[in-house]
Amino acid sequence: MSSSQAFPDKDLNTHRRVSTKSNPGFLERLSETAGGTVLGIGLFFLSFYVLFTNEGRALQTASSLDEGLSQVVSLESLFSLEPQNNNRLVHLSAKLHTSQPLHDPNYRVVVQAVKLQRQVEMYQWVEYRDSKDYQENGETKTETTYNYNTEWKSELVNSRNFDKEIGHQNPSAMAVESVTVVAPEVRVGPLILSKGLVEKINNFQTLSLKDFLTSDLDSFLTVDDDYFYHTQTPRRPEVGDVRVRFSFAGLSSEMSNLGPAQIVSIVAMQRGEQLLPFKTKSGDTLEILYEEELSAEEVFAKEHQYNSMRTWGLRAAGWALMFLSIQLTMRIIYTLVDWVPVLRELVSVGLKIFALCISCSLSLLTIGAGWFFYRPLMAAALGALALVPVFLARSGLTAKKNE
Residue 189's region, left for phi above 0, alpha for psi from -120 to 50, else beta, is left
Which residues neighbour 57 within 8 Å (Cβ) at sequence distance 6 or greater? Answer: 311, 314
Q: What is the largest CA-CA distance in the chain?
A: 104
Collapsing DSSP states into helix, strand and coil, what is residue 322? helix
Pick from 185, 366, 203, 365: nearest CA to 275: 185
Collapsing DSSP states into helix, strand and coil, what is residue 271? strand
**What is the DSSP code string of 126-159?**
EEEEEEEEEEETTEEEEEEEEEEEEEEESS---G
The pLDDT score that the predictor gives to residue 8 is 61
How do the pLDDT tens digits run along the chain, 403 residues long? 555 655 566 567 787 777 776 555 545 555 666 667 788 889 999 999 999 999 999 999 999 999 999 999 998 777 777 888 899 999 999 999 998 999 998 888 999 999 999 999 999 999 999 888 777 766 677 888 899 999 999 999 999 999 888 889 999 999 899 999 999 999 998 899 999 999 999 999 999 887 555 556 677 788 888 999 999 899 999 999 999 999 999 999 776 778 899 999 999 999 999 999 999 999 899 999 999 999 999 999 999 999 999 999 999 999 999 999 988 887 776 666 665 566 667 777 777 888 888 888 888 888 888 888 887 876 676 566 656 666 766 665 565 556 5
Question: By the 8 A CB rule, do 270 and 115 touch?
Answer: no
Cα–Cα dist 165/178, whole Å: 26
Question: By the 8 A CB rule, do 18 and 5 touch?
Answer: yes
Where are the domains positioned within the chain? 21-91+294-403, 102-252
The pLDDT score that the predictor gives to residue 399 is 59
pTM listed for this prediction = 0.80
pLDDT above 70 covers a percentage of the chain that reads 81
Collapsing DSSP states into helix, strand and coil, what is residue 301? helix
Question: By the 8 A CB rule, do 45 and 351 touch?
Answer: no
The C-alpha torsion from 311 through 317 and 319 to 325, rounded to 10°, is -150
Residue-wise pLDDT tens digits, 108-163 = 899 999 999 999 999 999 999 988 877 776 667 788 889 999 999 999 999 999 98
The pLDDT score that the predictor gives to residue 182 is 96
The pLDDT score that the predictor gives to residue 344 is 66
Give Cα 324 distance to the centre of its chain.
21
Residue-wise pLDDT tens digits, 9-30 = 656 778 777 777 655 554 555 5
The pLDDT score that the predictor gives to residue 23 is 55
The pLDDT score that the predictor gives to residue 5 is 59
Cα–Cα dist 279/146, whole Å: 55
Question: By the 8 A CB rule, do 78 and 92 touch?
Answer: yes
Which residues neighbour 349 within 8 Å (Cβ) at sequence distance 6 or greater? Answer: none
